[in-house]
Amino acid sequence: MLTYRDRIDTMRRTKIEHTLAKRAQNGYTDLDDFGTVPLPEGYYAEPWYNSENGSFYGLDGMSENFCRVLAAHPAYVDPMEMLCGRWRDMLVNYRGDVHYMPDWIKKNEKLRNFMSSGVTAQWSKRWDEKRFPYDDLKPLQKLYNITTGIDGDAHFACDYRIGLSLGFGGLLEKIRHYRGVNCGKEAFYDAEERCVLAIVDFIDRHIVKIGELLADETRPEIKESLEKMKTVCENIRLGAPKTFHEACQWVAFFNCASRIYTRDGAGFQMDTVLLPYYEADVKAGILDDETAKFLIANLLLIDPHYYQISGVDEQDRDLTNHLSYLILGGADMINISCNLTVRVHENCDPAFLRYAVECLFRHKNGWPRFCGDKTLCEGYMRNGVDKKTARERIAVGCNWMAVPGKEFPMNDTVKINIAKVMEVALGEMRDAPIKSTEALFALFEKHLEKAVEVTAAGVNLHLDHVHEVTPELIMNLMFHHSLEQGLDASECAELYTVGVDGAGLAVVADSFAAMEQRVEQEKKLTWDALYEALQNDFADERVRAMLQSTPKYCGGGTAADAWAARLTESFSGVVKAQKMPKGRQLVPGWFSWARSIEYGSVVGATPNGRRAGEPISHGANPNPHFRTDGAVTAQASGIAAVQCGYGNTAPLQLEFDPKITIEEGGVEIVMQLIKTHFLQGGTLININILDSEKLLEAHENPERHPDLVVRVTGFTAYFASLSPGFRRLVVSRFLEGM
């Protein structure tokens, strides 16, 4: 008889096979694993383009293509599992964004021909520039290397309680009810209805598939499991989930749908939202803890959405409960790319925190990660938000938080490369009669203001029109006021606290410090010599070494630390001061996501000794060799000191091999590190505790460790799936931490 452990082991093996097959099918993927499975042979979904721009937009375009792609998805049922459903393809693949286009589309001649000819005169685009052009913004967006957020999707969070309490049948009733109430909104409700019906059809196909598998199944325990799975699916195809098992299955289907639609990866406060189902089942005697853990493991396998666990309520009471432990237990069983974030606070259950760190230590797979309640909550309240709402704002993305069902933050989609802003300022100072770091900083601030202003214009364009381009038909279902008013989430949010991240902090801080020391204080270099060196990309290696060897940001009490603090104050001040219409406001943070290579490629040589085109620094992290001892405490303190202070993050990205075991006190050391970073003002720790031998072996030959998971930035990915460039990035960050 197969035990849960046997089944989990098989599920893990299947996952490894899928990871390798996906790489063969899609090429390298420098993105989240997403939990997808490989496409079946002959998979084909033909997109419907409704725009001369060569793409599909709006209510009809999005709903029609969602239905087509979902219909093309075969049912996925693995008898080893208790839950079913997987996703494989997403709408954005058909909108021509080369950043996301997988190899299988590029290799599919029929599809490629369709997408690049006939109805479309060009490759389709995600944003409908014919109707909503922004050519006037483009020159400055390019000048300052701004990631605009225009054409971004998802990056907000659903209130899962809405969907779980109504079920798909209840959502259909709600849609039909409000269609009658809100005259003139028929197109909106029609589109919503089509999407929900497509999801119900997707579930129905799973019920059929389970039936087929049941007919051939001989193992009694698996037969029983499949019968249960079938009943669960039948119950939730329209009905609201009533049991823990049904709630998990409902979430699995919803997540497949929302991923296919806009890659949405925002989960929910898992231990709180699922608790009533767990407690009721235990009381009724129909659920034991081992089964609960298996179901959680299964859900995490289906899709590594970002879930928060533990935390604190409005009255500062710890929210850790028995289910919090079971969730970690489920992740502990399956040990894949689990995107669990533990919220750490003053009254945190120490045993729970210890268990979380033990998981990190034992598996060395980059999960869980940790966020700090104090600075996040207090900071978000500085935007004029009450404490209850600030506490509801949970970790649901790479670097970002959102209030589920209420906030439309565009988090992680809007970024300004401040290394580029400094380059522009340096260019302007070149012909100025007086050159100094103070004069440069004034110019930097002037250009930063321009950069933020043009960023704000882009954000406003997006917010004003995204409902006509990419209405969020799936996430709307669980967004407050959306179905009630017939409005897209982008139109009816209670909070528009839009995240604007700065990227390249360490490059700019170290550059200012190097210029201050070598040019102004020591007079080892003249300004002209510095400009010449930047111009010729450090033809004289000695000049580069001179600039590169000054004390760096995160060194501890260095001039560069002081510059980083000043840059943070400036960036935060300029972003917060930007006037926004309609109750919108901008919220500053430091984060580059996985774009440090891309951002660096457009920035020439910088005064910190960085050569032209080299990657910029990662997020709020320091530059390589920031200290000879690479002390993570120095890094943690340095990053705690550059938090922007309004509830968005400047994550501490840590990679290290402590060369110390759990028995030798390793867990206590990491717990101390985490707690102190948050006490000092830190907001988020993306942490990889790695086995140096395994990582270096995998770097040489990824096939040797196809199960190795790394937290690249906020997201986790299978190391074997990353491109060589990204693998190098992770390895060099890690070597820096040794």
Partner 1 sequence: MTTKALITDIQRFSIHDGPGIRTTVFLKGCPLHCLWCHNPETVSFSQETFFYPEKCISCGKCTQGCYSGARVVCGREMTVEEVLEEVKRDAPYYGCEGGVTVSGGEPLAHRAFTLALLRACRAAGIGTAMESSMYRHDPEILAELDLLMADIKIFDGDLHRRYTGMDNAEILANIKKADEMGVPMIVRTPIVSGVNDTADNIAKTAAFLKSLHHVARYELLPYHPLGQTKAAALGQDAHVFEAPTKAKMEELQVYADLS
| Contact positions vs partner 1 (CB under 8 A) | 524, 541-542, 545-546, 548-549, 556-557, 627-629, 631-634, 636-637, 658-660, 665, 668-669, 672-673, 676, 679-680
The distance of closest approach from Cβ of residue 312 to partner 1 in the complex, given in angstroms and rounded to an integer, is 21
Cα dihedral across residues 11, 269, 306, 340: positive or negative: negative
- Tell me the H-state helices in 73-151: 103-107, 109-116, 138-143
Q: Give the CA count within 13 Å in the CB-facing half-sphere of 509.
A: 34
CB of 636 to partner 1, least distance (A): 8
The CB-of-344 to partner 1 minimum distance in angstroms stands at 15
Question: H helices of 578-707, where?
Answer: 596-600, 632-640, 666-679, 692-700
Q: How far is CA 356 from CA 83, 275, 709, in A?
A: 25, 19, 17
Please state the closest distance from residue 552 (CB atom) to partner 1, in A.
Answer: 14
Least Å distance between CB 538 and partner 1?
11
The distance of closest approach from Cβ of residue 409 to partner 1 in the complex, given in angstroms and rounded to an integer, is 31
- Specify the residue, 291 or 680, whose C-beta has the smaller distance to partner 1: 680
**DSSP type of residue 407:** B
Is the Cβ–Cβ distance between 458 and 149 less than 8 Å?
A: yes
Question: Which residue number, 58 or 737, has a Cβ lying nearer to partner 1?
Answer: 737
DSSP 516: I
Q: Which residues of 627-656 are buried (b: 16+ CB within 10 A; e: fewer)?
A: beebbbebbbbbbbbbbbbbbbbbbbbbbb
* Distance separating alpha carbons of residues 655 and 710, to the nearest angstrom: 9
Residue 484 C-beta: closest distance to partner 1, Å: 48
**Nearest residue (CB) to partner 1, 238 versus 679:** 679
CB of 349 to partner 1, least distance (A): 18
End-to-end CA distance of the chain: 46
Given the complex with partner 1, which of 25 and 676 has the nearer CB atom?
A: 676
Q: Cβ of residue 556: shortest distance to partner 1, in angstroms?
A: 5
C-beta closer to partner 1: residue 629 or 703: 629
Name the nearest CA neighbour of 551 among 542, 543, 563, 541: 563
Instruction: Compute the radius of gyration of the chain from its Cα atoms.
Output: 25
DSSP string, 336-378: SS--EEEEE-TT--HHHHHHHHHHHHHH-SS--EEEEHHHHHH
Instruction: Give the residues across from 312 on adjacent strands.
Output: 318
CB of 122 or CB of 633, closer to partner 1: 633
Strands (E), 582-715: 585-590, 652-656, 684-689, 709-711
Report DSSP letters for 473-509, one per residue: TTGGGGSTTHHHHT--HHHH-SB-EEEEEEE-HHHHH
Q: How far apart are CA 35 and CA 517, in angstroms?
A: 49
**Between 195 and 654, CB nearer to partner 1:** 654
Which residue's CB is nearer to partner 1, number 118 or number 665? Answer: 665
Which CB, 549 or 723, lies closer to partner 1? 549
Name the residue nearer to partner 1 (CB basis): 23 or 675: 675
Min dist. Cβ of residue 280 to partner 1 (A): 41
